[in-house]
Amino acid sequence: MTSTTTSPPTLTGLLDELFLGRVRWDLLRPFPEQDAADRALGDAAVARMRELLRTRVNPAALDLDGELPADLLGLLREEGFLTMLIAPELGGLGLSPMNTLRVVQVTASWSPAISWMLSITNGLGSGNYLPLLAEGPLRELVLEKVRGRAVSGSADTETGGAANRSRETRAVLVEDGAAYLLTGEKIYIGNGALAEIVDVTAAVEHEGVDQTRVFFVSTDTPGVESVGRHEFIGLHGSPIGVLRFNGVRVPAEQLLPASADEWRDEPELVRLAVLGRMLIIASPSLAIAKLCLTWSREFVNRRTMDGRPLGDYEEIQRLVAQTAADVFAIESVVQWGMLSGDLAELTPELTAAKNLTSMTCWQVIDRTISLMGGEGIETARSKALRGSTPLPVERFARDARGLRVAGGVDFLLDYWTALAALDGLAGLDGPAGLDGGESGQGREQPELRQPPTDRFLSPRCQKHLARVQSEATALAAHCRGLLDQHGLEELTEREHQVMLVGQVASTLLGMALTLARAAHLAEQGNSAALELADISCTEAGHQLSGLWARLAEEPAADYPAISERVLHTDQLDFLLDGVITDLPPYAADGKEGRDAD
């Protein structure tokens, strides 16, 4: 694993304050709402996308054959959906980030594969780099692609894995500094099979040290080879592909400027990364959760058991109510994140939002599969053939599982979230921080603060808010103890503990956001929001109890010893008795095993 974090170690925002033991209710209330005029613009774009999808895309056929409709890309380009965030004078729609997310959400409810294509070219597209680019050849190249509404892709991940900090793809300076020769292979490239321009990360040697730099490359440049598409367990039809760069000559001016050399921490690039992740992950997570709520209502209302309506059973009621509460929680995270201010300033929160949205989405669809029993795992085609309502639960379950991996696998995001905060805590001075002597002597314990109050919260929700405060105090004390006992460097190797800390913090963040939105809606007369928040926070409280129990586990079971035996000895091979472990013959056409005896 890597110790790379996705945000600079600053302690200024809502999540960082939780690590310091403080619930900043003033950062949550008033809860942000979308401006009415801006929402109206989004309504029109969402309506147009809904019409286009219904008339041009058969999502079931797309899932089966993995091929986008032949005219779809042209229509999306013509309608401006490839450049939603770009100003109208440059050929874009000029939509706000929130409206762009709404368009991606409605697309994901029809086809997550298409939503991925849109979210990548809009959220991570080359046009978003324009604020970093001064007048010159690179800016002109990007402007040319933007005006042509080109499909963009981001070529970062390599065969060695996305979590590696170094890059095997190399760029070598040639022609007395006039150009670079780019050589390497990139995988899991969003829009890699369609992209007309990609930003490519590569190692560049500078004074004997490799630096990771970003190049912009047109895919029609000689030496750029499209190897093909990836096929995943879900997202069938998404143009995620492999590109090889075979000594590609890239003019030196197509290198992102040196001011952006620390590319992971450059504010505009940080903003780009968190926006892309929200579009790619949060939008379909919210869409799929909403679909599950719709399917649950449809299924329960048409079913009986022993002559009794299914919805009359207590456990069914709990399952349906929990799904409704989870949709509310996901939407609360999304709404606050997209409407609260500068995205670059919300990087810690929006990094945590990836797991808050995708993991909750997974819990929702897993619950829906259980609720629907056999109809949950049965394909829509099979249901249609026997005359049942063809709800595509199985298809969206495959799509939802991918959301836990994309944008950073779930456990790594928890690790990065906590490590970034611990890094910031270790650098703070004085009694409010975690500095002040090797042994920690003289440091004050985190102050047991009075929880914030809100007159629009119900008694149960106010109790949940009080728990968020007490848990934040415990979190700060625990982090202080970890740093005192181990120090930051050692903690980077204690990955499981750090990951659990990240999960505690993210859970508290989700509770705070959900309660704040509920208070906001209750203030407007919607008391049902308080009931949804109560259910959401009750479940989150159970999760917190489990997390703290795991953090308190001492001594831990000997996981390293068992791992060593599995990986490097045959001592546990008895666990593999009775199964065939060698791979069957496999052909690229998918006809594996047909020639076997």
- DSSP of 161-193, one letter per residue? -TT-SS-S-EEEEEGGGTEEEEEEEEEEEBTTT
The pLDDT of 117-139, averaged and rounded, is 89
> Which residues share a beta bridge with 190?
154
Are the beta carbons of 517 and 29 closer than 8 angstroms? Answer: no
Of 448 and 374, the one with more pLDDT: 374
Q: In whole angstroms, give the CA distance from residue 464 to residue 537.
A: 7
The pLDDT score that the predictor gives to residue 117 is 92
**Residue 528: predicted pLDDT:** 97
pLDDT > 50? residue 171: yes
Name the residue among 141, 243, 139 with its Cα closest to residue 182: 243
Per-residue model confidence as pLDDT tens digits over 43-80: 999 999 999 999 999 999 999 998 999 999 999 999 99
Contact 423, 5 (CB under 8 A): yes
Kindly tell me if the per-residue pLDDT of 220 is higher than 80: yes
Amino acid 445: pLDDT: 52
- Which of the 8 DSSP states describes residue 156? -
Residue 227: DSSP 8-state: E
Q: Mapping DSSP to helix (H, G, I), strand (E, B) and coil, where does residue 244 land?
A: strand
* Cα–Cα nearest to 226, from 118, 153, 311: 153
Confirm if 373 and 386 have CB atoms less than 8 A apart: no
- Residue 545's pLDDT is 96
Q: How far apart are CA 29 and CA 517, in angstroms?
A: 8
The CATH architecture annotation of domain 152-260 reads Beta Barrel (2.40)
Q: Where in the sequence of the chain do the CATH 1.20.140.10 domains occur?
A: 267-408
Q: Sorting pLDDT into bands at 50, 70 and 90, what band is 471? A: very high
pLDDT value for 83: 93
204: helix, strand or coil: strand
Which pLDDT does position 481 carry in this prediction?
Answer: 92
pTM of the predicted protein model: 0.90
- Can you spell out the DSSP letters for 479-497? HHHHHHHHHHHHHTT-HHH
Between 346 and 172, the more confident residue is 172
Q: What is the pLDDT of residue 591?
A: 52
Instruction: Report the pLDDT value the prediction gives residue 298, as an integer from 0 to 100.
Output: 95
Mean pLDDT for the stretch of residues 239-248: 93
Residue 152 contacts residue 145 (beta carbons within 8 Å): yes
Is residue 340 over pLDDT 80?
yes
Number of Cβ atoms within 10 Å of the Cβ of 184: 21
Binned at pLDDT 50, 70 and 90, residue 130 comes out as: confident
pLDDT higher than threshold 60 for residue 509: yes
Q: What is the CATH number of domain 36-142?
A: 1.10.540.10
Chain centroid to Cα 486, Å, comes to 30
Q: What is the pLDDT of residue 561?
A: 94
Q: What is the mean pLDDT of residues 195-222?
A: 90
pLDDT of res. 264: 54
Task: Return the minimum-mean-pLDDT range out of 72-86, 162-176, 302-316, 495-509.
Answer: 162-176
Residue 232 DSSP one-character state: -
Question: How far apart are the C-alpha atoms of 521 and 335, rounded to whole Å?
Answer: 13
pLDDT one-digit tens code per residue, 346-367: 778 888 899 999 999 999 999 9
Fill in the amino acid letter for 234: G
Structure confidence by residue, pLDDT tens digits, 3-44: 334 444 444 689 999 999 999 999 999 999 999 999 999 999
Q: What is the pLDDT of residues 517-546, one digit of tens each?
A: 999 999 999 999 999 999 999 999 999 999
CA 155 to CA 83: how far, in whole Å? 19
pLDDT confidence tier of residue 259, bands split at 50, 70 and 90: low
CB 202 within 8 A of CB 213: yes
Instruction: Please report how many Cα atoms fall inside a 13 Å half-sphere around the Cα of residue 173, on the Cβ side.
Output: 12
Burial of residue 328 (number of CB atoms within 10 Å: 0-12, 13-18, 19+): buried
What percentage of the chain reaches a pLDDT higher than 90?
65
User: What pLDDT does 594 receive?
Assistant: 46
- Collapsing DSSP to helix, strand or coil, 198 comes out as strand
Predicted pLDDT at 231: 87
How far apart CA 191 and CA 239 sit, in angstroms, is 5
Smallest CA-to-CA distance from 198 within 179, 215, 181 is with: 215
- Looking at residue 500, its pLDDT comes to 95
The mean of the pLDDT values for the chain is 88
Contact yes or no for 406/119 (Cβ under 8 A): no
Specify the pLDDT at position 431: 37
Biggest alpha carbon distance in the chain?
Answer: 83
Which residues share a beta bridge with 171?
A: 182
**Which pair of structure tokens corresponds to residue 538?**
């009750």
Residue extent(s) of CATH 2.40.110.10 domains in the chain = 152-260
Give the closest residue to 112 by CA, choosing from 369, 378, 361, 372: 361
- What is the band of 440 on the pLDDT scale with cuts at 50, 70, 90? very low
Residue 296 contacts residue 323 (beta carbons within 8 Å)? yes
The amino acid at residue 376 is: G
Q: For domain 267-408, give the CATH number.
A: 1.20.140.10
Query: Which of the four pLDDT bands, split at 50, 70 and 90, describes residue 409?
Result: confident
